[in-house]
Amino acid sequence: MSTADAVFVPTGVPGKPRSIGALMGAALRRPGGRRALSVLSVVLFLAGVGMFSWPAYTDLIAHWRQNHLRSQFSSPQLQEAYRLGKIKPGQPLTILTSQRMGINVLVVEGTTPSALKAGAGHYPGTALPCEKGNVAIAGHRTTYGRPFNKVDAMRAGDTVHLITPFNDCTYKAVPAFGGHDNPWVVLPDDYRVVATPSVRAAYWLTLTSCHPKGSASHRIVLRLKLIKRCDADGTHHCVAVHSA
């Protein structure tokens, strides 16, 4: 390069950083700049639509599965399987209702991702509804029908009903215990909350869900105790239960 050519080489001149608007303007003036920004806009738009439509999509899936499962709940085949304790993963197990949480959801057996597409699932190996032990149920808070969305609103004395083919059982939320509130928050691998109680006369119900909403970093846990067991219609032949 000659000395004459060198005068056309621009030297670095310190200046203020260019604003985002200036950078976008420069990009639009370059060949292909408008196309690149258009593609980026479409990608961001689709990402936003996906983020907000995903919960609605999962709600539709849960609604369809709930209707399908309810049609099976009163079938003779399911009643016999329930009586024998042979409910398979994904099959309907119990209907959970709560006035405080504003829900009426059919709970399936199992807590796999597939089973929980119904909204709520029973932890395998824990007690069956209305029976002695710890009935443990997991449910979604922000997707798949959001049955446990308001579990944090439950207070001592609030009730939950579990309806099976043979019984309608009422559980009552207990006051704070063990040095923590009820409901309380634990790590996701703290399975002690769904373990079999060490006390013999325990008729517990434990509800768990992800916490905080939209995150799986922790679990929120609600403990209730069985106070009444009735026939399936919930109105006759009721027996009070005194749980530890």
* Residue 225 within any structural domain of the chain: yes
Tens digit of each residue's pLDDT (9 = 90 or more) over 186-203: 999 999 999 999 998 999
Written as six digits, the tokens of 149 are 């969305």
Which sign does the torsion angle of CA 97, 240, 230, 85 carry? Answer: positive
Task: Kindly provide the residue ranges of all beta strands, DSSP E only, lying in 58-125, ordered along the sequence.
Answer: 92-98, 103-109, 120-122
Element (H, E) at 185: strand 184-186
Largest CA distance in the chain: 107
Of 149 and 18, more confident: 149
* Residue 179 within any structural domain of the chain: yes
HSE, CB side, 13 Å, CA atoms: give it for residue 197. 20
Task: Give the CATH number for residue 130.
Answer: 2.40.260.10
* Residue 112 within any structural domain of the chain: yes
In this structure, what are the phi and psi dihedrals at residue 215, rounded to the nearest 5 degrees? -130, 150
Instruction: Give CA separation, 29 vs 15, 23, 26, in Å.
Output: 21, 10, 5
* Residue 29 within any structural domain of the chain: no
How many domains, in total, are found in the chain? Answer: 1
Q: Which domain holds residue 85?
A: 54-240
Tens digit of each residue's pLDDT (9 = 90 or more) over 114-153: 999 999 999 999 999 999 999 999 999 999 999 999 999 9
Please state the length of the chain: 244
